[in-house]
Chain A
Amino acid sequence: MGCGTSIAVENQTLLSETAIKAAILIQRWYRRYCARLEMRRRYTWNIFQSIEYAGEQDQLQLSSFFSFMLDNFTQMNGNGPDLISQLLDPVVDPLSEEVRQLKFEQIVVPESYIGPRLSFPLSVTDTNALLSAFKEEQTLHGKYVLQLLYETKKLLKQMPNVIYLSTSYAKEITICGDLHGRLDDLLLIFYKNGLPSPENSYIFNGDFVDRGKKSTEILIILFSFLLLYPDHMHLNRGNHEDHIMNLRYGFTREIMQKYKTHGREILQLLQDVFSLLPLATVIDNKVLIVHGGISDKTDLDFLGTVERHKVKSALRMPKRTIDHLKVQSCSRSSSRHSNRSRPHSPRSLSHGRRKNYSSRSSSSSSSSSSSSSICSPQISARNTPRHRHPASPRLPSPTDMLQVPFLDSFVSLEPPEPPREELEWQQVVDLLWSDPKTQNGCIPNSFRGGGCYFGPDVTQELLQKHGLCLLIRSHECKQEGYELCHDGQVITIFSASNYYEEGSNRGAYVKLGPELVPRFFQYQVSRSTRKLTLHQRVRVAEGSALRALKEKLYAHRSELMAAFQLYDIDNTGRISSNEWAQVVESVLRLDLPWRTLRPRLARLSTDGNVEYESCFDDISLGDPVPPVSPNLAETLYRYRTDLEIIFNIIDKDHSGQISIEEFRQTWKLFSSHLGVAVNDQSVDDMARSIDFNKDGNIDFNEFLEAFRVVHKLDVKEKQQG
């Protein structure tokens, strides 16, 4: 029995040794699996952010195009600068307040309209009606939108730039971040946390609109509660509360589609309302809440004196610099490049220079690059898409020399101290566009001096200066809906779940009581009832990111092929992985880990080289294929968004149509501004071919539809599944 037991024990020990080995093996494998997943999650995130960043750069291009049109272009069939400037420059309302109010009241709402009919001053009945209506997918009639906006404007005018709140009055305050038109997220927050009321205070920290499809509804709800409970509902301005951003990111389009008759007037009014939104909120003199962040120049006292309504858009610099730059544009030579460099805009001074900064520098470098020259081509040594880059023009640095016309020549002058307007503009832009970074220092975004990256030292200094203990901001999407940094002194709160893609991230809100200890609440709106595992979420998000990347590749196909072929002297169709990665990075100018991504984008041949043409395999133009050359198709595809924006502006009466002449002129201007070489004749031919009924007008939505792309793998999957 002794033997028997000892054998049994021995077996037991043997088993457990094997079991331990097995456990170790599983642990190792699993950790490696998680690392791969993490890598994929990260680069997926990077892809989304770089494309978002590239979009913001495109936005800057577009803004500069508008400015270019404004400056250099007098008439375009009567749809000239007055129409553009209406959208871009602050407009003085010719009608007096009373007259306008009367005008709105006189708008007739048809009997057939079944939506809510608001009566001012608003009551709980109105807000409840709105919430129910929007859940039923109804649209509020334009009359009420105008009246609502008008009342909101009146209220906001009375508010200071910085709102000071107290928890002793408000008890617990709930702070929400970016919503970006996601009505479901807002409704979910109200469901979990209750509606705004005197017992339930809310702060919404900007970016209510753009991207999502229900920006209008969100605004209406937020403004209604603001009017109903002005002491318990607070809204901070975000960088998307900006009519120029709205042109690109969807809000303008949403309004024009939902409000055919009153859309333009609504947009006009919104310009004012957005610029009147407060810039910051302070709780108990201890917690600062702003949309973006701060810079080392941020000063709450100065901020209190700023004329915030004058900063209509971060993408339009104050007037003085514009005039000064007009001068510069005369002496500029137009050198065009065949590869895609950023345009020489008369707007930006140091457009040519991308600063290679070292993060160790702790001084603020608003006078960043050395002498700037307008004509130097934009060669970016390295994009930094992983940081948000506010697409804001730069203010001239003290070291720049001004060229001013005097009689027949130009005279060099030292620029005077930046006028107050510019300083105010910078303060506002810093608040709305800045991002925190982990290492010390304050660096302007590499474009130029609006908005920056602020380190823990900057936070520390500002908090100390004003006796604060916490900064709460939004502006950046975070996977868990919130994130702490700078040693817990900065909280990022983001409330749009699934921002990039279904399953990409949670949303969150934070609650603060009198003890000022933040409590976080997360959620995720989901189309499916089943919760996705991390693996599934990564896969879905990655798929979406890769699709977007493939579209970018497609949009630059001819440039890429030309560059690939430079390496492929023997015309084998193959080049090395390194060469492939190098080409793609230099043409697309997206700073992504191309070597790591290569297996997802292009095929290897048997000899280990990349078959470079395979990266276009998956994409083709949709059905029916437009009757144009591939080159032109590619160009039009690339600039689709910009063209759409321009067309919408030209189309004054929202008919969806513009004349061939307008189309041709716009295209000419746009392409010459960008330095895109397109044969005028082919554009003409194409325009005419799209004018189906030959009445001299183009339905531009149909036109743009022709340049959609299809992902063939997706189609195949759908057919099989």
Chain B
Amino acid sequence: MADKYTAENILTDTQKRISNAFDVFDHENNKTVDVREIGTIIRSLGCFPSEAELHDIIAELEEEEPTGFVCYEKFLPAMTKILLERKFRPIKEDLLLQAFEVLDQQKKGHLEPGELSRYLTQEGEPFTQEEMDEMLSAAVDPDKNVIFYKDFVSMMTYDDTR
């Protein structure tokens, strides 16, 4: 009980976290998950990879002939490495607010749905229409039909899982 933070303990702790997250998506209970869920699992463990980085990870994880599933034996070492090396560190919350402010060229304090959609579906690593629609449904104020991004950022960054 004395020294909880030995290297060994950290490793086991990390592995347990990975195991839990993996299990949530392991529907058949046979230590495999659908490859399309890998992104969700990695992100829910606190990482912020870009889409491109994610594709690389997945490419490595998939077997020689992709079955559409990833097994735990392969996932665990790869994910452990990612967590221990602190790759894909979280982006600071205030940066997120600044990002919205950049898009809000006229400094209105809010964004039009059209404006935001244009940026997010055309620039960077574009959203699919589905992703965009989902974000808008959560972000757009139903009465004013604009996005008060300050509130939206608060909601997105609120971490109630401490």
Instruction: Name A's B-contacting residues (CB within 8 A).
Output: 15, 18-36, 38-39, 42-43, 46, 358-359, 382, 384, 386-387, 437-439, 530, 533-535, 568-570, 572, 574-578, 581, 591, 593-596, 599-600, 607-609
Contacts and interface: CB of A to CB of B under 8 A. Distances in A.
Given A25-B95, A28-B48, A39-B44, A20 B124 contact: yes
Given A24-B50, A24-B125, A569 B155 contact: no
A31 B91 CA distance: 12
A386 B21 CA distance: 15
A42 B25 contact: yes
Interface of B: 1, 4-5, 9, 12-13, 16-17, 19-21, 23-25, 27-30, 39-44, 47-48, 50-51, 90-91, 95-96, 98-100, 102-103, 105, 119-120, 123-127, 131, 134-135, 137-138, 142, 155-157, 161-162
Given A36-B43, A38-B44, A439-B30, A30 B161 contact: no
A23 B121 CA distance: 9
A329 B39 CA distance: 53
Contact of B44 (A36, A359, A581, A595): A36
22 contacts: A22-B102, A24-B50, A24-B124, A26-B100, A27-B126, A28-B50, A29-B156, A30-B127, A32-B47, A34-B40, A35-B39, A35-B42, A35-B43, A46-B24, A387-B29, A438-B27, A534-B134, A577-B13, A577-B16, A591-B23, A593-B21, A599-B161
A534 B24 contact: no
Name B's interface SS: helix
A600 B13 CA distance: 18
A312 B8 CA distance: 56
A715 to B, nearest CB: 20
Given A359-B30, A438-B28, A22 B100 contact: yes
Given A27-B127, A39-B44, A600 B91 contact: no
A29 B28 contact: no
Nearest to B142: A530
Query: Which 8 pairs show the lowest CB-CB distances between chains A and B?
Result: A35-B43, A24-B124, A593-B20, A22-B99, A39-B44, A23-B124, A22-B102, A23-B123
A35 B119 CA distance: 21
B43 A27 contact: no
B42 to A, nearest CB: 8
Contact of B91 (A25, A42, A533, A575): A25
A533 B138 contact: yes
Contacts of A595: 16-17, 19-20
Contacts of A384: 29
Given A26-B96, A577-B13, A593-B24, A386 B29 contact: yes
Given A29-B96, A534-B134, A599 B119 contact: no
A38 B17 CA distance: 16
A419 B44 CA distance: 52
Nearest to A46: B24
Q: What is the interface of chain A mostly: helix, strand, loop, or mixed? A: helix
Given A39-B40, A578-B13, A593-B21, A386 B100 contact: no
Contacts, number: 150
A437 B21 contact: no
A34 B16 contact: no
Contacts of A535: 138, 155
A522 to B, nearest CB: 16
Nearest to B101: A22
A39 B124 contact: no
Contacts of B90: 32
B11 to A, nearest CB: 11
Nearest to B102: A22
A39 B12 contact: no
B149 to A, nearest CB: 9
B28 A439 contact: yes
Nearest to A45: B24
Nearest to A438: B28
A581 B16 contact: yes
A681 B32 CA distance: 52
B30 A20 contact: no
Given A23-B123, A35-B43, A599 B96 contact: no
Nearest to B53: A28
A359 B28 contact: yes
A593 B91 contact: no
B102 A18 contact: yes
Given A22-B98, A38-B44, A572-B1, 11 more contacts: A27-B125, A27-B127, A28-B50, A31-B39, A31-B43, A382-B29, A386-B27, A437-B28, A439-B28, A595-B16, A595-B19
Contact of B40 (A29, A38, A599): A38
Contacts of B162: 599
A439 B69 CA distance: 11
Most buried by B among A22, A29, A534: A22
B24 A28 contact: no
B4 A596 contact: no
Given A24-B124, A35-B44, A578-B12, A19 B156 contact: no
A488 to B, nearest CB: 16
Given A28-B91, A35-B39, A358-B30, A570 B1 contact: yes
A593 B125 contact: no
Given A387-B29, A533-B137, A599-B162, A23 B20 contact: no
B129 to A, nearest CB: 14
A24 B142 CA distance: 26
A574 B4 CA distance: 12
Contact of B102 (A19, A33, A38, A437): A19
B154 to A, nearest CB: 12
Contacts of B47: 32
A332 to B, nearest CB: 31
Contacts of B134: 34, 534
Choose among B42, B95, B99, B155 the residue with the greatest number of A CB atoms under 10 Å from its CB. B99
Contact of A35 (B5, B40, B103): B40
Query: Which of B42, B100, B123 gathers most chain A CB within 10 Å?
Result: B123
Interface centre among A29, A575, A609 (most CB of B within 10 A): A29
A283 to B, nearest CB: 29
Given A29-B96, A29-B156, A596 B43 contact: no
A607 B9 CA distance: 14
Contact of B156 (A33, A575, A581, A596): A33
A20 B95 contact: no
Contacts of A609: 4
Contact of A29 (B1, B21, B25, B91): B91
Contacts of A20: 123-124
A570 B2 CA distance: 10
Contacts of B138: 533-535
Nearest to B118: A23
Contacts of B51: 31
Contact of B24 (A533, A576, A596): A596
B5 to A, nearest CB: 8
A23 B103 contact: yes
A23 B157 CA distance: 17
Contacts of B44: 35-36, 38-39
A359 to B, nearest CB: 4
